Amino acid sequence: MSDSDLQAIGVDNPTMTKRDYKLQVGDMNNRSSLEFMALKGKTLTQKK
């Protein structure tokens, strides 16, 4: 996603290594979730 796409949904631009990822989108009734996974299925963890 571009910087402007991320800003439009209120998310800071994540710092991620350039490679292919899978994106899982979830519907949780009153909110949505996004989960980025490496191609081997390992979920990326959040760094602060």
Token look-up 């390992």 returns 42
Mean pLDDT for 17-46 is 81
Q: What single string gives the DSSP state of each residue in 25-42?
A: EEE-SS-EEEEEEETTSP
Domain ranges of the chain: 3-38
- Taking the C-alpha atoms of residue 31 and residue 4, their distance in angstroms, rounded to an integer, is 21
pLDDT at 42: 77
Does 27 or 3 have the greater pLDDT score?
27
On the CB side of 18, how many CA atoms lie within 13 Å of its CA?
0
Label residue 46 by pLDDT band (50, 70, 90).
low
pLDDT at 48: 47
